[in-house]
Structure 1
């Protein structure tokens, strides 16, 4: 996205349900970004993810620790010859404490990374511990657990470095608990241990800020006795317990946990009837609950329905989750989810990604649109969506568009029903006032009769001779009786509907509008004036005595900006009656209209001041102050009052930047459709939100006279 310049709300139930529908609709088009070898990330399995106090991301893998600064990945590995390396390459857990120190758990002990010294230090815990998890309590003490071990540590700054106080193993060898997976503190600072043998609540001493606590009592939670527990999280007073046999939604009363509901399967019709295996439960910054599974991908909880939205790996979709086995998840300060998988690398999900949905041709899906180069779009009065593609015919949605199905429309390919030659390219789709659908191509004209569900190729004639009309880009009903058809020439067809039922021949009358090149767009303004956009500029006309009187646009203005010989792609009238003109190569023009309906002034906007590009293919109005433009460099949202713009491109979730002529439409439900080189883009402008979090600037390296200065190094002699 680029920007260019020139109290608590309580919703009634019905609004909550509508919101849930919209959330699910957008979810179907959420796009994941994958990180693998191509992006410089050289590991397939991620066991842990953490963000440090400076915003760096750290990834723990079976083959080392990796830091990501937003641009590059840097690996840290065990080196027997280096005193300050990590103690083992197999990283199992990462945790940032209250001082900003990064704790790294391995299969052979614990290390910390001291960011202000940029070095690793070993923590004096029994080095044979195979760390499973690291966490902090409310007093900032760090707890480390392993197979049947729990240690508590306290770090302190001493002369710029770090010293440690470390307890002995706090777990007695009574055999009651083994294979501890996780240590967790709830909102009341109660400690829980998730283990192979069940779930345990732990009473521990808390007296003294500087003292190390001891474990006083361990209470087994009967509801989960002898179950394999991977994780537990308290969210708004509800305890979510993740196991190998499903997810439990529970409440806590003393030492008893009451199960409210068990989610054993993703749905009742689960294809393989396989239990959900839960690795993690996570609450994001907005309060949404995400569930990581070891077999079903990533789930988002929908509380209104007590169900889940599923995100999973799809071999046919490069923007899907990279693997269905999720080991870990983290949300960074910029509202991005980082998802660590097994054998699938990293998947990145921007929660602030714009709500752009996309439809593309998929050769493996017979219900996809017919092609990716979209040439024309129509949502008809019954709500069916029509989409034509270059050389691939036309598709129509199988059911009317609504808020519930907008994200998963299925299309029927109508190419075989229309019987157009393979060389014919559909250039326009238009619905007249009686509900007939007119389809214009480079040489043919087809009419769809919705009352009998049939297509008919029609021939235009004058004095029983065929009217050779090419490049039919304009079809428009101008009054109750007449249809304007424009391409390389312009004709009017009067009262065609009865004739269409019985014949293929329609009588056409030319309007005497010649030598304009190709008519490419048409507009009737609120005053009844006609506007024609052609390959040679803009023409104006009036309808008088059944005839069209047309003349070249003449604007009385001093700046010298004209539309003579401009290639016009789009025309639109705003709420104030001004006419906006999209050109190919000359940007956007605004024609001011006076109280008498006369053009008196013209403004010009180009790539140099406001636009993403000077080829403006389509113009749609959001409200009285905002227009959306489709261009060769993405979509532009123009604030016409402040003369500022925001540009959206593939980085914001668009499937492509290159849009196309005549391929835009605004539906009655407020959906905007834009077509281009890589399919159809669909969105509601009100759902496109801006991410206003500004990134912080960090210095990651310092060189003086081409010599790199290490952290803590004396710079005397380098600086004068």
Structure 2
């Protein structure tokens, strides 16, 4: 493979002076996986409000910032949409293989468009390739029948058909068309001709002298009114319509890769706002031609996620709102990217850089304009911008006269034009460009690891090394060395940064603190990080130092971000993430002509303005973090190098998109009966001159408003504020939320206003507006409420009159009833009195009868008890008789049978008497139901015999009767009564009868 073809292969992601990265272009994607009909993209349009429309081989997709929506044609047919076009009246047209369609915002669909002209309608029933609006507002289309048709949508003038036949009478087919600065129409044909409409007919042009026979795929005019012509196999042409001159750009093995395209089949062309030409090829990816610099660069499809286009066949290119470049491909869907920096690049191939070394570069521009760039771990390069030649310096282990060490960490040009080259592991090198050789000087082992090189006011050269500081004169004599230790020594021997300030003092950054050598008194001042002092250094590892325009000193650290030393306050101000600075490692500091400080950080570049406003540039802007290298600012140019080449730009010519992104409502959702109805916003936003209006019926309990912005690149960073006039007249922040929901709004008119937070975009802040009319329910209507109010008022008056009359009637009736009741009560009282007397008499008689009955029962019970008692006495007599008979029998040695029978008979009688005691208790309990039970409960110590004794005393039996019943003597009865008295706790003055009468 030739060197040129190898270069073309490796020359990718080149930096160009449009919104493009010189390192890797950061892409975002929309494809079939994210909702497109198909990955074959035919056309892309961003309409006036910011919505992106994408034509595919199967239909149209709409990207509104929130979702991808699919649109089929009105007849439901899946058709190839060749082109989308928005005219000056903000109408969206679709040129398809089945005719012309127009977007109907009222129905949110694409409808087939027809004219009242039958001839035009017949011509429209064809494959339409392109559509364009003429200066007079008429529309121009190219169809598959070989016609260019000019017609008026409103039929204001007669339709014109243009066609062209070659010398053989064969009709040519137009493939593409464009308007020049004067509004003239130019067309490219399928056989390679360039035609122009002149005197209302098609004529050939001076392009015929190019002898091009390849079909012209696309044509476009640039800002200089030069016509760019892309062919289907013959490369690219630049044609000047005024002079008829042309230039042919054709890929061949002999081309300088920076001077021509990389593929001869051109599918798409676009001239951006900076007058750069974008070229979409069939297999070479995206080409960029910088017209002002006459150079080409390329972006190919490589296996690097997010940093390459997905396909090398580029079918469409356009630039949308916010200068985003949209790229349609044949097989990979849509890619888009953006960058604020205006960048250029010297390719890694031209610099002969290694492919995969991510070590950052240190850069030096010498007095002759040569650029010295370290090549990672692969030595040093000297690039001559005038000749484009690169000289390579690599350490040859077998040579003692070449570069010593391949890892370059510092570069410096002395007053004699010699280049001082510090290496990481090896000793210092000095190269003399005039003699084209390296200069060796003795005793230089101490210069291993030379991180910093600086010249003082006396012209001496200070080296900051791993072993301290070494000071040389211009004759390469070592004057002095300074190491760690003591008041006159360094804080560390590892010196990483040197800076000679306006006073001639040397600032020395080490791995362990900051040192200042004061020239005036030959003394050192030292600073360290103090965890208890917020005005101390944020970190002791110092890697960069620079002086600011206000005489403050900027100190970059390894891990502690930036420190600003105030000479007046003699303390440090820390600037890091809290202040908006990206990156904790500050490897380099440059001050530009506008007094901005540019920091080379591990996250990219950061710019700090004189008023301490910070802007960060990272991978999305094409700036990688600095890994070991740092940027160089010389005059008006900033240089940055790494494995992707040398990137450079002019900080004073940076282009920023200062406009606030357009904000637009995408859809509405209304809640009715717990079901959401989704309404595309385009359906209600028909009149662009008026604020769209949505009506909420009484059944709509809730409305949600979805909105988006035209900023598709950083949409996730936008924050929003809103105001609902009629409810709250203050702006309210909703952060990054892009949905607003309102529930239970009172009937009335509201105006919703939404805009991007003005804190992030201060210029040209645009608003999305929506009128919300909340209709009242039937009972919320004013007329209904007034009628109800009158009805209620009339009802109240009627009720008041009726109540007054009713009360009077009731009062009269009550008075009558009171009189009648009074009479009735008197009569009833008299009758009741008589009844009460009768009842009392009857009750008295009943009580007398009851008492009589009770007396009779009592007498009967007493008589019964008396009888039982007498029988008990009889029993005792029997027992006495039995006893006497037993005594007699005992004395008779031969008892007689008759005596024995008599004794048995007497015992049976005695048993019957025991039964009599049971009957006695039964009768007694009927007279005195609770006596015996209470007696046993209150005096459980009483024996059964004593209980019987109490019962007999209760019945007022005499002692003689008791003695007879128990079969004991009178003296024994007295003893028993005495014992009973003690157990009942009776005093001497109490008798049994009284006690038992009151016993409960």
Q: How does the TM-score come out when normalised to structure 2?
A: 0.54
Q: Contact 2:71/2:109 (CA < 8 Å) preserved in 1? A: no
Residue matched to 1:621: 591
Residue matched to 1:682: 648
Is 1:179 aligned to 2:179, yes or no?
A: no
- Cα distance in 2 for residues equivalent to 1:477 and 1:186: 58
Does the C-alpha gap of structure 1 residues 561 and 359 become closer, same or farther in structure 2, counting only changes over 3 Å?
farther
Does the C-alpha gap of structure 1 residues 367 and 643 become closer, same or farther in structure 2, counting only changes over 3 Å?
closer
Does the C-alpha gap of structure 1 residues 628 and 517 become closer, same or farther in structure 2, counting only changes over 3 Å?
same
**RMSD between aligned alpha carbons?**
5.0
Residue matched to 1:96: 86
- Of stretches 284-293 and 87-96 in structure 1, the one that deviates more from structure 2 is 284-293
Is 1:429 aligned to 2:411, yes or no?
A: yes
2:577 aligned counterpart, secondary structure: coil
Q: Contact 1:610/1:643 (CA < 8 Å) preserved in 2? A: no
Does the C-alpha gap of structure 1 residues 499 and 592 become closer, same or farther in structure 2, counting only changes over 3 Å?
closer
Q: Which structure has the larger Rg?
A: 2
Equivalent in 489, 506, 517 of residue 541 of structure 1? 517
Q: CA deviation at 1:659?
A: 2.0
- Cα distance in 1 for residues equivalent to 2:361 and 2:273: 41
Equivalent in 388, 391, 396 of residue 416 of structure 1? 396
Write the deviation string for residues 193-251 of structure 1: whole angstroms up to 9, x where unpaired: 554475666689xxxxxxxxxxxx64443757897555566778957374746646354
- Cα distance in 2 for residues equivalent to 1:425 and 1:235: 46
Q: CA deviation at 1:527?
A: 1.3
Q: CA deviation at 1:637?
A: 0.9
Name whichever structure is richer in helix by fraction: 2
- Cα distance in 2 for residues equivalent to 1:296 and 1:521: 45
Is 1:263 aligned to 2:247, yes or no?
A: yes
- Cα distance in 2 for residues equivalent to 1:652 and 1:659: 14
Residue matched to 1:385: 371
2:666 aligned counterpart, secondary structure: coil
Q: CA deviation at 1:638?
A: 0.7
Q: Contact 2:598/2:606 (CA < 8 Å) preserved in 1? A: yes
Residue matched to 2:110: 120
- Cα distance in 2 for residues equivalent to 1:248 and 1:477: 52
Does the C-alpha gap of structure 1 residues 92 and 643 become closer, same or farther in structure 2, counting only changes over 3 Å?
same
Which structure has the higher relative contact order (CA within 8 Å, separation 6+)? 1
Which ranges in structure 2 are unaligned for 5 or more consecutive residues? 1-14, 115-120, 685-694, 703-743, 745-1000
- Cα distance in 2 for residues equivalent to 1:459 and 1:638: 43
Equivalent in 560, 565, 578 of residue 586 of structure 1? 560
Is 1:221 aligned to 2:204, yes or no?
A: yes
Q: CA deviation at 1:91?
A: 1.6
Q: Contact 2:469/2:495 (CA < 8 Å) preserved in 1? A: no
Q: CA deviation at 1:122?
A: 1.9
2:664 aligned counterpart, secondary structure: coil
Residue matched to 1:330: 318
Does the C-alpha gap of structure 1 residues 62 and 590 become closer, same or farther in structure 2, counting only changes over 3 Å?
same
Which ranges in structure 1 are unaligned for 5 or more consecutive residues? 1-21, 79-83, 157-163, 205-216, 253-258, 501-505
Q: CA deviation at 1:618?
A: 1.7
Does the C-alpha gap of structure 1 residues 476 and 261 become closer, same or farther in structure 2, counting only changes over 3 Å?
closer
- Cα distance in 1 for residues equivalent to 2:450 and 2:226: 63
Residue matched to 2:131: 134
Matches within 5 A, 1:18-417: 29=22, 35=29, 37=31, 40=34, 43-70=38-65, 73-77=68-72, 84=74, 87-124=77-114, 125-126=121-122, 128-148=125-145, 149=147, 170=161, 177-182=171-176, 194-196=188-190, 218-221=201-204, 230=217, 240=227, 242=229, 244=231, 247=237, 249=239, 251=241, 260-266=244-250, 282-286=270-274, 308-312=294-298, 314=300, 327-343=315-331, 345-346=333-334, 348=336, 350=338, 353-357=340-344, 366-367=352-353, 371-374=357-360, 376-388=362-374, 392-397=377-382, 399-400=383-384, 402=385, 410=390, 412-416=392-396
Residue matched to 1:214: none
Is 1:490 aligned to 2:490, yes or no?
A: no
Write the deviation string for residues 583-618 of structure 1: whole angstroms up to 9, x where unpaired: 234332222335xxxx73543323212422343222
Residue matched to 1:699: 665
Residue matched to 1:659: 626
Q: CA deviation at 1:294?
A: 6.3
Residue matched to 2:602: 632
- Cα distance in 1 for residues equivalent to 2:509 and 2:464: 10
- Cα distance in 1 for residues equivalent to 2:85 and 2:18: 35
1:693 aligned counterpart, secondary structure: coil
Q: CA deviation at 1:343?
A: 4.8
Equivalent in 493, 508, 533 of residue 532 of structure 1? 508
Does the C-alpha gap of structure 1 residues 486 and 499 become closer, same or farther in structure 2, counting only changes over 3 Å?
closer
Residue matched to 2:545: 571
Q: Contact 1:58/1:65 (CA < 8 Å) preserved in 2? A: yes
Does the C-alpha gap of structure 1 residues 194 and 576 become closer, same or farther in structure 2, counting only changes over 3 Å?
closer
Q: CA deviation at 1:518?
A: 2.8
Q: CA deviation at 1:370?
A: 8.7
Q: How does the TM-score come out when normalised to structure 1?
A: 0.72
- Cα distance in 1 for residues equivalent to 2:542 and 2:262: 58
Equivalent in 445, 469, 475 of residue 427 of structure 2? 445
Residue matched to 2:492: 516
Q: Contact 1:539/1:550 (CA < 8 Å) preserved in 2? A: yes
Write the deviation string for residues 439-482 of structure 1: whole angstroms up to 9, x where unpaired: 44455323224155444777748xxxx76x77542344447685
- Cα distance in 2 for residues equivalent to 1:559 and 1:472: 32
2:78 aligned counterpart, secondary structure: coil
Does the C-alpha gap of structure 1 residues 71 and 371 become closer, same or farther in structure 2, counting only changes over 3 Å?
farther
1:372 aligned counterpart, secondary structure: coil
Does the C-alpha gap of structure 1 residues 485 and 266 become closer, same or farther in structure 2, counting only changes over 3 Å?
same
Q: CA deviation at 1:310?
A: 3.0
Q: Contact 2:403/2:429 (CA < 8 Å) preserved in 1? A: no
Does the C-alpha gap of structure 1 residues 167 and 590 become closer, same or farther in structure 2, counting only changes over 3 Å?
same
Does the C-alpha gap of structure 1 residues 551 and 200 become closer, same or farther in structure 2, counting only changes over 3 Å?
closer
Residue matched to 1:8: none
Residue matched to 1:607: 577
Q: CA deviation at 1:27?
A: 9.0
